[in-house]
Amino acid sequence: MELKSYQQQVITDLDFFLEYLQKYDTPSLAFKQYWEDKVGAYELKLDGTYSGMTAYKDNIKNTPHIAIKVPTAGGKTFIACNAIHSIFSSYESSRPKAVVWLVPWSNLLQQTASNLSDASHPYRQKLNTLFNHSVEVYEKESLLQGANFNPTSVSEQLNIFVFNFSSLRINSKKKDDRKIYQQNGALEAFRDSVVGQDLVLPDTDESALINIIRSLNPLVIVDESHNAESDLSIEMLQNLNPSFILDLTATPKKNSNIVSYVNAIELKKEHMVKLPVIVYNHSRKEEVINSALHLQRQLEQLAIQESLDGGKKIRPIILFQAQSNIKGSDNTTYTKIKEKLIELKIPEEQIKIKVSGLDELKGIDLMDEKCPVRYIITVNALKEGWDCPFAYILASLADKSSAVEVEQILGRVLRQPYVIKHKEPLLNLSFVLTASAKFNETLDNIVRGLQDAGFSNKDYYAEEIISEEVTTVLTDKEVLSNELFGSTENSTIPSFDDADITNINVGAINFDPTEKIIPSTTNTAINLITQKAIEEGKAFETRLTTEDGDNTEYLLREMGKEPKRYKIVEHFNQVAETISLPQFYKKLEESVLNQELVFEELSQGEVFLNRDQLLSTFKLSSKNIEIDFNSVTADVVKVDYDEKRKDTVISKFSIQAKKMLTDTILAKPKEKQVKDITSIMVGKIGNMTPIAEQEIKKYIERIFSEFSTEEIIDAVNNEYNYIYKIKAKIIELANQHAKEEFKKLLDTNKIIVKPNFKFKSTLVHSKEGAMINKSLYEREGDMNNFEQSLIMDVASLDNILFWHKNSESKDKGFYLNGFNNNHYPDFIIYTQKQNIILVETKGDFLDNDDSKAKNILGKKWAEKSGENYKYFMVFENKNVEGCYTAKNFLDIIGAL
């Protein structure tokens, strides 16, 4: 299981923040600069609005405490597994790898601990890959008993301690009430070797589990972190003495320090969720049950047919929401719903109740093909811990006289089965069926439910169904009501006890569970629902293709700033529409063209070029391993977080762990020493796609196989210098290969240029630039001083029609795709003579190999594109071969 593109972006954002954290003295400074470079400096305006990101909230003093916002079904746990690796990769490898994973509810604890422990689960498989299969997951009881938990094991593996909040969240005056704060003979071995005396909590013994965890200075992951906002929660986090805190949530609170947002639309594009949500309000509860049962059967028939056609097997499930006991009503309404369904002759084995105190789903795998469950009755599924992507329909049977409270339950029907787009359109949607007299308030609750799950009010469609049967099918109590009070054609029938499920008239529900197939015309409500659902589904898909995938607009909204869209200046529209900038394409081999083509784009005989294609023949394991490890690189700066934290004493265990690591490696035969040090280096180097991890491993093994014992010790003690140099060497070798392959394919006409890039009709900027004459858009993006000075001079030239500050966003900016990573030139300029000019500006200090590679690529692009296309690299003052200074450049461009 690999990261989705939006999940990878979260990890990339985290990695960037970690770099800032190493560079700046405090988390607050790192956070400030991280966002300032992204969206500009924070500024509070007179009208109460602000620009930029709000200041860092130092919740746990001087401890990095950040959050990632990922909508429900976005894979927060999988992201966290990868984040653990990123964070520990920025620590010394000898530090203990201890993680405290906090969850708000006991059922979520069991689910999390089980998934992280299960060797067949994708979460554990990813952790095993990232940490060389040295992973142990503990729950509270096993830790208290010291089961497989000792100073040696802690130093040799990734240790994940899964707790729920209640295990740790306790008033400091009541520590005696929790075993983790008590003396523990099973953990005596930690007393002298791990626990630092200066880290022992007041009035606790050194052998208490809490003091051992504190001494390990753990990374703390807070799942559903919006539930950990109280003073007791802050004290809970402080007691853990964390080195780093990572919050996971779909709905972060105002005091969260968010470093990465995921736009909910990205989940739909990756087929993670069933959107839009189709909402229908009925007149009566009987109609809700009737529609839900018929809709479930129709979805199941579609699922069966899709399975017969080779698709995945799906068993659509209805989630019946029973009345809660908030108003003091009978809290056994869920059992009455089950009785009504059985009365309809639905097999009892297909119906399960999942509420607090009654769990009929325990031990049942809802994803099992043999599982018969199709109907689940619940009250608050989120806190009850129930979750299954087969859930398609939320049918609320709550009190009709009140707004349906779905905020805490809506997310349970959003997950997409198997994370794929299904052939049948209805299998890509989710449904909410209600019978509420306060439908507008119900819709408000649905919007809140979507927002709580990280989505928006654009992600649902709602309609009411007014049944003609309302006045003809009456319950016994309604008949009595008519006799007592009378009724008129337009009157509302009073209800004695609307929450009482026993009032439901089963005879009014036209559903026979024994019929395998029924004509769809027998249920007009279902016809209306499904037809409209298909229409709305198509409209939503259109939105996916037309909505800009760039995250800037979403990011600004999350920051509380309404984004402004800037159009192309009206008198440039006609010219801009005719421009299609060329990019590189690779011709397909005859052998590929002769095969059955799966993708339509391949039928054109060429594919858009990317660097990975150029590295398809790159074999790192066979390349030279000549690296000078003796020279100290000034660019290598790696500071362990503890050295930044002035108020925290570094655990003595860290020093001991370094010695233990060295001793452990050296105690083994040479071959095993090489494998151990290789494992450390591969883990720290991380993903270098498309270079396979196995190739990196073989290459590094070759390096260390020639090392003496003393050199291996030096590598362990100076790992960052070695990692930096090895990674730099791999990148150098890969770049060289890609460059040679690009030249060969270009010279043999196997790489060509084709018109491809069109200017977007509107743009949103995270930071706006100065107003300068002749800009293509009403406002261009931010520029540095040199860029702004140069383009002002360019705009003053008579032959310039317009200029554009090119974005570095893949979704809206133009880039040169070639042998180096995508190159986004700073400016695109258009002259009166229809010349298109790309300009890359460079400060004089940037005369390096990267700049030379970009200049070569730009010149090749211009050469292949035609005489009207030019590329210039411009340095501020420095004379660089093949480039221009700002002054010389203006003379050249003025003649075009």
Residue pair 182/176 in contact (Cβ under 8 Å)? The answer is: yes
**Cα separation of 149 and 629, whole Å?**
37
The two three-digit tokens of residue 667, written as one number: 């105690």
pLDDT number for residue 655: 62
pLDDT number for residue 667: 80
Alpha helix (H) residue ranges in 1-75: 5-23, 27-39
Q: How many CB atoms lie within 10 A of CB 156?
A: 16
Counting Cβ atoms within 10 Å, is residue 72 exposed (0-12), middle (13-18) or buried (19+)?
buried
Residue pair 409/394 in contact (Cβ under 8 Å)? The answer is: yes
The two three-digit tokens of residue 401, written as one number: 């006289």
Chain segment 538-559, per-residue pLDDT in tens: 888 887 776 655 667 667 766 6
Task: Let me know how long the chain is.
Answer: 896
What is the rounded (10 degree) CA torsion for 862, 867, 871, 875? 140
| CATH number belonging to the domain at 566-579+758-894, selected among 3.40.1350, 3.30.70, 3.90.1070, 3.60.21 | 3.40.1350
Q: How many CB atoms lie within 10 A of CB 488?
A: 6
Q: Which pTM was predicted?
A: 0.80
- Topology match between the domains 62-251 and 266-546: yes
Residue type, 42: Y
- Please list the ranges in the chain whose pLDDT falls under 50: 176, 326-331, 382, 468-499, 521, 593, 595-603, 632, 634-635, 646-651
Q: What are phi and psi of 393, to 5 degrees?
A: -125, 125
Tell whether domain 62-251 is in CATH 3.40.720: no
pLDDT number for residue 643: 56
Residue pair 206/191 in contact (Cβ under 8 Å)? The answer is: yes
pLDDT number for residue 168: 83
Of the candidates 700, 706, 662, the one whose C-alpha atom is nearest the C-alpha of residue 683 is 700
**Cα separation of 10 and 28, whole Å?**
20
pLDDT number for residue 101: 96
Residue pair 624/726 in contact (Cβ under 8 Å)? The answer is: no
Angle at 66 between CA 64 and CA 70, to 5 degrees: 160
H helices then E strands: how many in the chain?
Answer: 31, 27
Q: How many CB atoms lie within 10 A of CB 399?
A: 25
Of the candidates 338, 320, 337, 383, the one whose C-alpha atom is nearest the C-alpha of residue 356 is 383
Q: How many CB atoms lie within 10 A of CB 219?
A: 25
Q: How far is CA 548 from CA 29, 488, 554, 581, in A?
A: 32, 53, 10, 19
The two three-digit tokens of residue 782, written as one number: 């931010």
**Cα separation of 482 and 474, whole Å?**
10
pLDDT number for residue 135: 94
**Cα separation of 434 and 882, whole Å?**
70
pLDDT number for residue 94: 76
**Cα separation of 465 and 435, whole Å?**
10
pLDDT number for residue 489: 41
Q: How far is CA 424 from CA 400, 461, 537, in A?
A: 33, 19, 11
**Cα separation of 12 and 18, whole Å?**
10
**Cα separation of 522 and 182, whole Å?**
67
Locate the domains of the chain by residue range: 62-251, 266-546, 566-579+758-894
Residue pair 234/168 in contact (Cβ under 8 Å)? The answer is: no
Strands 351-355 and 375-378: parallel
CATH number of 266-546: 3.40.50.300
Q: What is the largest CA-CA distance in the chain?
A: 100
Of the candidates 407, 408, 458, 53, the one whose C-alpha atom is nearest the C-alpha of residue 261 is 53
Cα-atom radius of gyration of the chain, to the nearest Å? 31
Strands of 379-516, DSSP E: 391-396, 430-434, 460-464
Residue pair 143/209 in contact (Cβ under 8 Å)? The answer is: yes
Token pair 């520990």 is found at: 88
